[in-house]
Amino acid sequence: MNELDSEAMAGAMSELGYDTAASEEDADVIILNTCTVRDLAEKKALGKIGALKKLKDANRKLVIGVAGCLAQQRGEQLLKRFRHLDFVVGTREIDKIPELVAEAMTRRRQMASLCPRRKIVEPTAYKRLHDVKAFVYVMRGCENFCSYCIVPYVRGPETSRPSSEITDEIKKLADGGYREVCLLGQNVNSYGKGLREKIDFAGLLDKINKINGIERIRFMTSHPKDISDRLIKAVASLDKVCESIHFPLQSGSDKILKLMNRGYTYSDYMEIVGKLKKAVKDIAVSTDIIVGFPGESEEDFRKTAKAFNEIEFSNSFIFKYSPRGGTKAAGLDDDVPLKTKLERNRELLTLQEEISLRKNKEFVGKKLEVLIESPGKKDKNLFTGRTRQNIIALFKPGDFKKGDVAGFIPSSATPAVLSGKLADK
Ligand code: 5AD
Ligand code: SF4
């Protein structure tokens, strides 16, 4: 989401006549987009804001703004602590950035634009980082209030975009050569709530599946408590919807899930995974996990490790619990020592590597499908793409070009990459 927001910020600045600077030293305007989901992200942002002071000292005309979740949460404090900042802008006010920059150019005074519940004005332009595939917002905000999570406080209430606005944006992307869209929302499964039209996320997928030129549809993130049979059916039956779902489990222990206020048990989660695996051949399930949540005993952690072996995630993002001020869990004793959090994190990473390697090896020799994205970073003769299961593929492009969908037969596998040859589709 932050990547898409940054693309919107760059788009708004382009409309104002600005281009991307070669370096920070070279820039007239610097806007820092921040995250506050864990303490490390927040510390990094604070360090970076502090480090920008020397650029401001060297060039008084430089405009520096802070955007994103940290600005939303602590904007006024940031302005007081860092006098070299010109403005802070909240997560629902990206469209205000050009105005703030123009104002900062003419007058030196600190400004804050931080309304937490403002109606979002959709960006009129994005300066996108990628061609071929693009992120598209379908909804924003979250009202789940998982006990550890700051997002509902900094991203505001759930707000869905009308489906015609989304399909119009995707049609334009298709005309511009994009072949894959990843539909974004904190909880895409609650799409449609509060809209005048009667539509749910499965209905939206159906509409997008009909757009010419788009070859692939992905979406993120799905909350387990809201995955409906209609959605599973849509993933199974719509040809462009890829066989991959990101679906955070967070913990394998019911005791911890309850403390997290997740609204499901491990067996509820398993039931959905079972349905997905049955309905969609080769579906890849990826997940988010938090280790070291308050009260997580060795026995609780073992349940999470067991879940890895039972479910065999294709990929997982594992985080050490980090207390966030203002959340419910911040009132609990952060009683799992850092050393234990690190050990648990490492153990799950190792387990995931073994599982990913095993699963990727199963694909060797089978015909898959890739969307060709770009030349590889190390070897320019090799191109990268993704399989429908979202695994990175490496191959020689031959007669194919960027944006083509081609058959792909892997000949070797690592935990993260399949290497092989392209074949006709
Ligand atoms: N500490 C650690 N991880 C967190 N996440 C959200 N809040 C926290 C926190 N306070 C993780 C969750 C979520 C992912 C985006 O970040 O796993 O799914
Ligand atoms: Fe945070 Fe839970 Fe909302 Fe995800 S569903 S953004 S973890 S509160």
Q: Is 205 left (phi over 0), alpha (psi -120 to 50) or beta?
A: alpha
Cis amide bond preceding 159, omega within 30: no
148 in ligand 1 pocket by Cβ < 6 Å? yes
What is the CA(37)–ligand 1 centre distance, in A? 6
pLDDT category of residue 350 using cuts at 50, 70 and 90 = very high
What is the pLDDT averaged over residues 282-290?
Answer: 96
Task: Give the number of the ligand closest to the Cα of residue 327.
Answer: 1
The average confidence (pLDDT) of the chain is 95
What is the pLDDT at residue 137?
Answer: 97
What is the pLDDT averaged over residues 93-122?
Answer: 92
Express as a percent the part of the chain with pLDDT over 70: 100
The encoded tokens of residue 396 equal 């020689």
What is the CA(352)–ligand 2 centre distance, in A? 23
What is the pLDDT at residue 57?
Answer: 95
User: For 216-258, how does the pLDDT look when each residue is reduced to its tens digit (9 = 90+)?
Assistant: 999 999 999 889 999 999 999 999 999 999 999 999 999 999 9
Express as a percent the part of the chain with pLDDT over 90: 93
What is the pLDDT at residue 424?
Answer: 75
2, 145, 149: residue to mutate for ligand 2 pocket, most atoms within 8 A of CB: 149
187 in ligand 2 pocket by Cβ < 6 Å? yes
Pinpoint the residues of the chain covered by CATH 3.40.50.12160.
2-113
User: For 154-204, how does the pLDDT look when each residue is reduced to its tens digit (9 = 90+)?
Assistant: 999 999 999 999 999 999 999 999 999 999 999 999 999 999 999 999 999
Task: Give the number of the ligand closest to the Cα of residue 248.
Answer: 1
Cα–chain center distance at 4: 9
Q: How far is CA 357 from CA 44, 215, 243, 411, in A?
A: 32, 27, 18, 13
- The CATH H-level (homologous superfamily) assignment of domain 2-113 is Methylthiotransferase, N-terminal domain (3.40.50.12160)
pLDDT category of residue 363 using cuts at 50, 70 and 90 = very high
What is the CA(69)–ligand 2 centre distance, in A? 14
What is the CA(405)–ligand 2 centre distance, in A? 34
Fold for domain 368-423?
Answer: OB fold (Dihydrolipoamide Acetyltransferase, E2P) (2.40.50)
Closest CA to 182 of 7, 56, 343: 7
What is the CA(93)–ligand 1 centre distance, in A? 24
What is the pLDDT at residue 108?
Answer: 81
359 in ligand 1 pocket by Cβ < 6 Å? no
What is the pLDDT at residue 116?
Answer: 80
Is pLDDT of 14 > 90? yes
Q: Are strands 111-113 and 87-89 parallel, antiparallel or unpaired?
A: parallel
Asked if residues 397 and 372 have their Cβ atoms less than 8 Å apart, the reply is yes
What is the pLDDT averaged over residues 70-82?
Answer: 96
Closest CA to 75 of 84, 85, 88: 88
Closest CA to 402 of 153, 131, 41: 131
The encoded tokens of residue 145 equal 């209030």
136 in ligand 2 pocket by Cβ < 6 Å? no
CA–CA gap between residue 146 and residue 348 (Å, rounded): 22
Task: Give the number of the ligand closest to the Cα of residue 222.
Answer: 2
What is the pLDDT at residue 425?
Answer: 63
Pinpoint the residues of the chain covered by CATH 2.40.50.
368-423
Q: Is the dihedral of CA 216, 221, 224, 230 positive or negative?
A: negative
202 in ligand 1 pocket by Cβ < 6 Å? no
What is the pLDDT averaged over residues 337-347?
Answer: 98
What is the CA(38)–ligand 1 centre distance, in A? 7
Measured from the Cα of 250, ligand 2's closest atom is: 7
What is the pLDDT at residue 118?
Answer: 85
**CB burial class (10 A; 0-12, 13-18, 19+) of residue 296?**
buried
The encoded tokens of residue 65 equal 């703004």
